A and B are shown apart, each in its own frame.
Chain A
Amino acid sequence: DAMVIQNPRYQVTQFGKPVTLSCSQTLNHNVMYWYQQKSSQAPKLLFHYYDKDFNNEADTPDNFQSRRPNTSFCFLDIRSPGLGDAAMYLCATSRDPSGEETQYFGPGTRLLVL
């Protein structure tokens, strides 16, 4: 059974054209994370929500925004994608930041910017 679902799996957008990536979870976890993973690199945390509290990483560009309308869904908005934003975007969830279960990752959305 899918636990962390990301849609779409592949997204092609044009330079500067806004794009939204979607994540949903069936785990009822309190925390949802968005990571960016470029080819052959480690995942890099962009931001996370603890319930409705939004936490932005200091080095996350303003071009990246997020919304969490309810417990199950979280969205990543890229307002004006650049060529350097082409990457795999991973959504992850955890019950709480200190739990033994740590983070469950979705399959990712691969973004291509033309």
Chain B
Amino acid sequence: QQQVKQSPQSLIVQKGGISIINCAYENTAFDYFPWYQQFPGKGPALLIAIRPDVSEKKEGRFTISFNKSAKQFSLHIMDSQPGDSATYFCATRNAGGTSYGKLTFGQGTILTVHP
């Protein structure tokens, strides 16, 4: 069974600090690694994503670092703001086979940014 292990389960950061969330995967047949942000009562929204041929991608305050050999990727939120308080899910996307395009999500990280 494909698994994506996400840590920490919860994270508390002061405003202006750096939030770091980590994910590790087992299967290598993935072609896309997105991060989703979910606010209470809302559906997940795509935040940032990376392909496995790139080691880092930055969009504004959000950066994905990708380590293919270690099968790990992480989300860094710089200058964290109270409005970033949400649940964050990493995911992996199947590259082929009968589950082509399927997303497998990590367990989620509840981020709280204190003012």
Contact = CB atoms under 8 A, between A and B. Distances in A.
B41 to A, nearest CB: 8
Contacts of B66: none
Nearest to B94: A97
B106 A42 contact: yes
Contacts of B15: none
B107 A41 contact: yes
Nearest to A107: B43
B101 to A, nearest CB: 2
B84 interface: no
A98 B42 contact: no
B102 interface: yes
Contacts of A90: 43-44
Contacts of A103: 46, 103
Most A CB contacts (10 A, CB to CB) among B89, B93, B101, B106 go to B101
A110 B41 CA distance: 9
Contacts of A106: 43
A111 B57 CA distance: 37
Contact of A102 (B93, B99, B100, B107): B93
B105 interface: yes
B108 A40 contact: yes
A96 interface: yes
Interface in A74-100: 90, 92, 94, 96-98, 100
A55 B98 contact: yes
Interface of A: 4, 31, 40-45, 48, 50, 55, 90, 92, 94, 96-98, 100-108, 110
11 contacts: A42-B107, A42-B108, A45-B102, A48-B101, A48-B102, A94-B101, A98-B95, A105-B36, A105-B44, A107-B43, A110-B41
